[in-house]
Chains A and B, each alone.
Chain A
């Protein structure tokens, strides 16, 4: 950000926004609150009403709660309150978030959701494992696909044939 020295306003605001990015959580809660309230208030309940408390009472309470918490959270953030990022054994918080990895993983996961139908679990699952390992930094092209394939096929047989939890076999299992 050193190149933007001439326009001091923008980096300042950017730094402020970065510092207060938690306001986004408040905004999100606000949006969800409005969504819940709209859904509850537009509900057609005349026929469905049974007893003094209808199907809209709790959603309205939850919606109002969301709005209140959103505002309180925003106040807390502006007063300097911060949610503490969660630590853990494999987590290094000193580095900034690695968004590339997260997006890659989300993409791989979505691809699995799309492919599980047409390709079947053994193939889509193997792609999911290999893709995730690749996104996380594993580059063993000789070993990774093999592990992924074995894991996926073994899991398929254990769940589908041994445990009685059906998974889609896809064309591959049709051939075998």
Chain B
């Protein structure tokens, strides 16, 4: 009941004309940038971060929420019309969506995707409203050892669940942790890795790391391998669904969140796994199995709904624990830190207006998304034809604006370029980018919790495992680490049994 009242207050915040305007601008900008080929949600959010710098926090985050959902919807538009997904979560949308578009049913594919985003986002956000305050309440009591355990879990999960090579994931994480060490030590003020430079004593801003790795790294990497003939986007009319389509999509729309939401809340790579699981589920349950692979509408509706719900799930752990589980959440956390706000269990007590305004604006954003994007879809489709030199020149241009806006220092642009070159090398040699970003953001926080925990226990390592919660988390970590061997054992024992 309490959270319902808070939510109503939140709507009071979100529905003021100025905040509605920010939400609408956010949705439009997010979709426009997300539609552009080569720009996934994480890069869109990182590039658009400076747009919010001049706003007060509530307005900034309301705009941000719009950008997030808009970028996700924009990404699936690219997948469907161009068959070239910009990020892993949109791969599934391309499997069925692109054949539909080729068969002249692009409008229906987009409508199924939009409906999926709306349904998944709505259900996911309702679950967020119900669960987040409870999680935050439980989390208020957890102490330094528990936090440290959660962060170790995030590090391990992000390096060993994602990507094909654990060693490369670990290398990426360590690069991130190293970047996070640069600057003054939070507890003693000791200079670390600054090499006497005053510039580095402030540390490397997380926004610069995110923009460098996501935007500059990607632009340089694409530039090195630019496809001279880019694929043709399929033109599309205004999205709509016939009654027979709705009959086939409403169940997948409702099933998607069940799969998507829990996966979003845990550090398991965001929307990648749930969209795939949802696809497999829909394929199994469908009455039109023969259509799968050739353009089955269920295969668009379910996964898109799952992806959208997983975004809401991501917000649960981000807002209540300060734990980013996806690249987008990592950038959002950086945005919070920019305002000196630390997401975590106390956020709901300290900044109720901000949090509930943000959550309410998620609902507003989704309605706006549906209302604005369906009529505008033909226009978005035109954006796919932007000449590639302009596109990537534009990414570099706005990345420079963003990095400069952080502190107004030209040296930040040089640091940005160096981090961008690191990002380039990481893409070349298959080091995943996400562990590095998580390392930069969570590294300093994890160190602080570790030192706090050991201070309380007077240096005894037992102080790290003296709560049931932390012991449980470490048990999960052991299972995660041992999983490849466990899997082998299970596979081996099965034929024998």
Q: Which residues of A are interface residues toward B (Cβ below 8 A)? A: 22, 25, 28-29, 32, 35-36, 39-40, 43, 45, 48-55, 57-59, 62, 65-66, 69-70, 72-73, 76, 81-86, 88-93, 95, 97-99, 101-102, 105-106, 108-110, 112-114, 116-117, 121, 125, 128-130, 132-138, 147, 151-152, 155, 159, 163-168
Contacts of B250 in A (CB 8 A): none
17 A-B pairs with C-beta separation under 8 A: A39-B192, A51-B459, A52-B458, A53-B450, A72-B167, A83-B428, A86-B427, A86-B428, A90-B226, A91-B226, A98-B225, A113-B410, A114-B410, A129-B397, A155-B401, A159-B51, A164-B55
Centre residue among A69, A106, A116, A136 by max chain B CB count within 10 A? A136
Cβ A50 vs Cβ B187 within 8 A: yes
Complex contact A90–B230 (CB within 8 A): yes
State whether A128 and B397 are in contact (beta carbons under 8 Å apart), knowing that A86-B221, A101-B223 are contacts in the complex. yes
Using A36-B193, A45-B190, A83-B168 as known contacts, say yes or no to A136 and B458 having CB atoms under 8 A apart.
no
| Closest chain B residue, CB of each to CB of A98 | B224
Assess whether A83 is in contact with B429, with CB atoms less than 8 Å apart. Answer: yes
Residues of B within 8 A of A28 (CB): 425
Contact A90 B50 (CB under 8 A): no
Q: A69-B174, A86-B221, A164-B53 are in contact. List 19 more A-B contacts (CB 8 A).
A: A48-B185, A53-B450, A58-B181, A65-B170, A83-B168, A85-B427, A85-B428, A89-B78, A89-B82, A90-B38, A91-B221, A92-B226, A99-B224, A108-B396, A136-B226, A136-B388, A155-B401, A165-B51, A167-B404
Bound CA span A130–B389, Å: 10
Docked-complex contact B223 and A136, CB < 8 angstroms: yes
Please encode chain B, from 28 to 65, with 1 for each CB lying within 8 Å of some chain A CB and 0 for all others. 00000000011000000000001101110000000000
Closest to A83 in B: B430
Contacts of A105 in B (CB 8 A): 219-220, 223, 396
CB contact under 8 A between A51 and B451, given known A102-B224, A105-B219, A129-B394: yes
Say yes or no: A165-B429 contact (C-beta < 8 A), given A48-B189, A114-B410, A129-B397: no
Q: Is the CB of A136 within 8 A of B429?
A: no
B residues less than 8 Å from A72 (CB atoms): 167
Contact with A along B57-99 (1 / 0, CB 8 A): 0000000000000000000001000101110000000000000
**Among A32, A92, A116, A128, which residue has its beta carbon within 8 angstroms of that of B410?**
A116
For residue B387, CB closer than 8 A to chain A, the reply is yes
Contact B165 A55 (CB under 8 A): no
CA gap between A25 and B168 in the complex, in Å: 10
Q: Are A106 and B220 in contact (CB-based, < 8 A)?
A: yes
- Distance in angstroms from A124 CB to nearest chain B CB is 9
User: Do B222 and A88 touch (CB < 8 A)?
Assistant: yes
Complex CA distance for A55 and B193, rounded to whole angstroms: 12
Segment touching A, from B238-246, B357-365, B413-421, B484-492: B413-421
Closest to B406 in A: A165
Give the number of A-B contacts (CB < 8 Å).
240
Q: What is the chain A residue whose CB lies nearest that of B452?
A: A51
Contacts of B401 in A (CB 8 A): 121, 125, 155, 159, 167
With A and B bound together, what is the CA distance between A73 and B190 in angstroms?
32
Tell me whether B455 and A52 are in contact (CB under 8 A).
yes
A36's partner among B181, B408, B410 (CB-CB below 8 A) is: B181
Interface assignment of B481: CB less than 8 Å from any CB of chain A:
no
On chain A, the residues within 8 Å of B221 by CB distance are 86, 88, 91
Of the candidates A76, A85, A102, the one whose C-beta lies within 8 Å of that of B223 is A102
Whole-angstrom CA separation of A152 from B425 in the bound complex: 29
Docked CA distance A143–B408 (Å)? 30
